[in-house]
């Protein structure tokens, strides 16, 4: 019986996951299913003249990958069947009991 | 063709200067190739990597007209104009991108002619430069360099 109303991350992976490879700095690649969270499109910088761009959030299982520090490299498609792209973890977005949500930016070859 | 007002002359000269910011002209960025004046669009990922906006702020006027023996007198005004930039960041060294565009703006605007072609009553002044660092999840940095243009005009807006 679930302890609260949160959907277990394993169920989200099953329903919405895309195959990915996560490599933390100085670590070895780990294959897992990552989950894209609905992105927002804020303006940067927070000034009068700005550029809108997607604020991309990826969710990663803490059971499979307990630590996701800044600089972690993730290779995954944005949708199932799309071409895989490289993403760099830029910042922690949210920490939950069973998963980590991180802000990612396109890898160097993508910018 | 009617004469330009003092304000129009000031803005025309500033537009001319910052429009020159391009790598091909010896600058560090191509920010001047896309310049917005009188509008502040939110650019998107498909727009150029670097762009500038000229933001004209509220004029501060000391109205000395209508007094004494010279009723036409003069109105002395300070027009704040900020050059703001957004540029794609070097993700490894975002400060390099920020400082590059700040340097370009200063180099372009701050020529030996501080009267902007003779229209200013006092030399063009620079205000407080602002750097907008890369925010989490963003690939963009920005900067703002404000200038103060002091000019005199008559009641009715003509140059004096």
CATH topology of domain A9-37+53-110: Thrombin, subunit H (2.40.10)
Cβ separation B43–A48 shorter than 8 A:
no
Band the pLDDT of B90: cuts 50, 70, 90.
Answer: confident
CB < 8 Å to A47, chain B: 84, 132, 142, 144
Residue to mutate among B136, B141, B143, B144, with most A CBs inside 10 A, is B136
Distance CA B108, CA A22 (A): 45
CB-nearest partner of A105 from B137, B141, B144:
B137
Q: Which of B30-57 are b and which e, b meaning 16 or more Cβ less than 10 Å from the residue's Cβ? A: bbbbbbebeeeeebeeeeebbbbbbbbe
What is the token pair recorded at B130?
A: 């602002």
Task: Decide if pLDDT at A14 tops 90.
Answer: yes
For range A13-38, the mean pLDDT: 96
Number of CB atoms found within 10 A of residue A87's CB: 24
* Tens digits of residue pLDDT in B107-144: 999 999 999 999 999 999 999 999 999 999 999 999 99
> What is the pTM assigned to this prediction?
0.86
CB-nearest partner of A44 from B53, B85, B140:
B140
Distance CA B128, CA B116 (A): 20
CB < 8 Å to B42, chain A: 43, 50-52
Taking all residues of chain A, what is their mean pLDDT, rounded to a whole number? 92
Band the pLDDT of A111: cuts 50, 70, 90.
Answer: very low
Distance CA B19, CA B37 (A): 11
Residue to mutate among A25, A45, A73, with most B CBs inside 10 A, is A45
**A50 has a chain B CB within 8 A of its CB:** yes
Gyration radius of chain A over CA positions: 15
Query: What is the predicted pLDDT for the residue at A39?
Result: 83
CA B47 to chain centre: 21
Distance CA B113, CA B17 (A): 11
- Cis bond upstream, residue A45 (ω within 30): yes
* Complex ipTM > 0.90: no
**A66 has a chain B CB within 8 A of its CB:** no
For range B83-102, the mean pLDDT: 91
**A102 has a chain B CB within 8 A of its CB:** no
* Tens digits of residue pLDDT in B12-71: 999 999 999 999 999 999 999 999 999 998 899 889 999 999 999 999 998 887 766 556
CB-nearest partner of B137 from A46, A52, A103:
A103
Enumerate chain B positions whose Cβ falls within 8 A of a Cβ in A. 36, 40, 42-45, 47, 51, 53, 55, 84-86, 88, 91-92, 132-142, 144
């Amino acid at each position: 019986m679930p302890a609260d109303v949160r959907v277990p991350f394993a169920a989200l992976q099953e329903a919405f996951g895309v195959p990915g490879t996560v490599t933390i700095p100085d670590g070895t690649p780990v294959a897992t299913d990552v989950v894209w969270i609905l992105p927002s499109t804020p303006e940067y910088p927070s000034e009068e003249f700005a550029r809108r761009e997607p604020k991309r959030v990826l969710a990663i299982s803490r059971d499979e990958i307990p630590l996701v520090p800044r600089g972690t490299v993730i290779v995954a498609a944005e949708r199932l069947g799309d071409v895989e792209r490289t993403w760099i973890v830029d910042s922690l977005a949210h920490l939950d009991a069973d998963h980590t949500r991180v802000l990612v930016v396109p890898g160097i070859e993508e910018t | 063709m009617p004469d330009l007002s003092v304000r129009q002359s000031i803005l025309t000269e500033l537009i001319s200067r910052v429009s020159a910011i391009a790598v091909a002209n010896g600058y560090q960025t191509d920010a001047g190739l896309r310049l917005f004046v009188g509008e502040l669009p939110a650019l998107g990922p498909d727009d150029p990597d670097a762009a500038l906006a000229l933001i004209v702020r509220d004029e501060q006027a000391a109205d000395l007209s209508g007094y004494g023996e010279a009723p036409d007198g003069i109105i002395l005004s300070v027009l704040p104009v900020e050059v703001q930039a957004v540029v794609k960041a070097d993700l490894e060294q975002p400060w390099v991108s920020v400082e590059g565009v700040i340097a370009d703006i200063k180099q372009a605007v701050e020529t030996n002619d501080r009267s902007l072609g003779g229209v200013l009553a006092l030399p063009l002044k620079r205000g407080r430069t602002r750097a907008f660092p890369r925010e989490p999840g963003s690939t963009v940095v920005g900067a703002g360099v404000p200038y103060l243009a002091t000019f005199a005009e008559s009641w009715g807006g003509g140059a004096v």
